[in-house]
Amino acid sequence: YDFFFNLVQGQFPLTQNVTVVEGGTANLTCRVDQNDNTSLQWSNPAQQTLYFDDKKALRDNRIELVRASWHELSISVSDVSLSDEGQYTCSLFTMPVKTSKAFLTVLGVPEKPQITGFTSPVMEGERMQLTCKTSGSKPAADIRWFKNDKEVKDVKYLKEEDANRKTFTVSSTLDFLADRSDDGAVVSCRVDHESLNSTPQIAMQVLEIHYTPLVKIISSNSWPEEGQSIILTCESKGKPVPEPVLWTKDGGELPDPERMVVNGRVLSISFLNKTDNGTYRCEAKNPIGRNSTEYVLIVHDPNALAGQTGPDHALIGGIVAVVVFVTLCSIILLGRYLARHKGTYLTNEAKGAEDAPDADTAIINAEGSQVNAEEKKEYFI
């Protein structure tokens, strides 16, 4: 009796939860490690018996027996629908009956997404609102936006329950201002869902943006000189493609058609001279609008340029003359300064004029006193 009790206690059905994509096949397996020939049974969420051992109990061609033994009862349900989802029960008819539950999850596959809201063409600066929508997903699918393979994050997301109250319709809106850089860009909406086996569903839309021309002038000569030629190329980019460009000079027509030749977008000017100086304008237009840019032409004198390249001898000579003049003036002033502040002279006492009674005597004394004049000199510094 104890052996039989322990054997019964070891009898317990084992099952696993199952997840399957709608339309796929679900395999339900119930195993018993120890079984003394006790029957096994599978029943659906409505508690209807599907199989009792190897005997089919429910008339449903989608349900088939996979394996039946004392240790296992496995069945398959093909073409699974959302209504098949729920809790299935495996029963082992011991005393008392032992059961094990297996939950069947059915994934709703999202429909292929569609992008709406795009009208072609779109004018630059207009607001664009593109909406991507997909239905039938369970659980709700995830939508992501990309522009030229770069993900766009700032989007709106909306989830709504479908009429069957099992699946969802999800939509996402991409809102932005059209820019010329978006012309030709590929905008894609990607739907990710666990039922897709890491292979997302993608919808794509190529943008067509119309915009006014962008104009630029390119010169063939960075330092035009008299007698040379110059080629000015007007590059214009717009959508639709701009019409042939219009060249003007100083607000009027080109003054010398023989030397100033227009060929498409190119203006060629030969035998340049000073009269060609001025402002040249290139204007391009398309049905969206017009735009222009300017180029200021300055024709240089090659002789003046050559003279400027050598040393300016007149300037150097003038500098040398000034330096010599300043030096001479400094020497003269220095000499006069020394003469006034460092000199010698004979005093009245040395000359003897102070003690002479008359002029003759003074002269005699002066002549006689020259002998000792060196002794009576006074120096002032």
**Residue carrying structure tokens 């199989």:** 51
Q: Would you state the pLDDT for residue 324?
A: 75
**Residue carrying structure tokens 């639709």:** 240
**pLDDT tens track, the chain, 381 positions:** 333 333 444 579 999 999 999 999 999 999 998 888 899 999 999 999 999 999 999 999 999 999 999 899 999 999 999 999 999 999 999 989 999 999 999 999 999 999 999 988 999 999 999 999 999 999 999 999 999 989 999 899 999 999 999 999 999 999 999 999 999 999 999 999 999 988 999 999 999 999 999 999 999 999 999 999 999 999 999 999 998 899 999 999 999 999 999 999 999 999 999 999 999 999 999 999 999 999 999 999 988 755 554 455 556 767 877 777 888 878 887 777 776 765 444 444 444 444 545 545 544 454 444 444 444 444 333
Distances (CA, A) of 67 to 52, 89, 92, 129: 12, 17, 16, 56
Q: Would you state the pLDDT for residue 357?
A: 54
Structure tokens at 366: 């002066």
C-beta separation of 232 from 266 below 8 A: yes
Sheet holding 18-21, edge to edge: 18-21, 98-107, 86-92, 40-43, 49-52, 55-56
Encode pLDDT of 150-176 as tens digits: 999 989 999 999 999 999 999 999 999
Which of 160, 140, 24 shows the shortest CA–CA distance to 82? Answer: 24
Which of 83, 177, 189, 52 shows the shortest CA–CA distance to 133? Answer: 189
- How many CB atoms within 10 Å of residue 216? 12
C-beta separation of 134 from 143 below 8 A: yes
Give the whole-angstrom CA distance, residue 180 versus residue 123: 9
Give the whole-angstrom CA distance, residue 140 versus residue 134: 10
C-beta separation of 313 from 321 below 8 A: no
Q: Is 179 left (phi over 0), alpha (psi -120 to 50) or beta?
A: beta
Helix (H, G, I), strand (E, B) or coil at 2: helix
Distances (CA, A) of 20 to 17, 63, 107: 10, 15, 6
Structure tokens at 340: 């006034």
Give the whole-angstrom CA distance, residue 88 versus residue 356: 164
Beta bridge partners of 294: 281
Q: Would you state the pLDDT for residue 48?
A: 96
Give the whole-angstrom CA distance, residue 361 versus residue 353: 8
Peptide bond into 244 cis (omega under 30): no
Please report the domains of the chain, with CATH numbers, ordered by start residue. 13-107 (2.60.40.10), 114-207 (2.60.40.10), 212-302 (2.60.40.10)
Q: Would you state the pLDDT for residue 36?
A: 81
Entry field: residues in the chain = 381
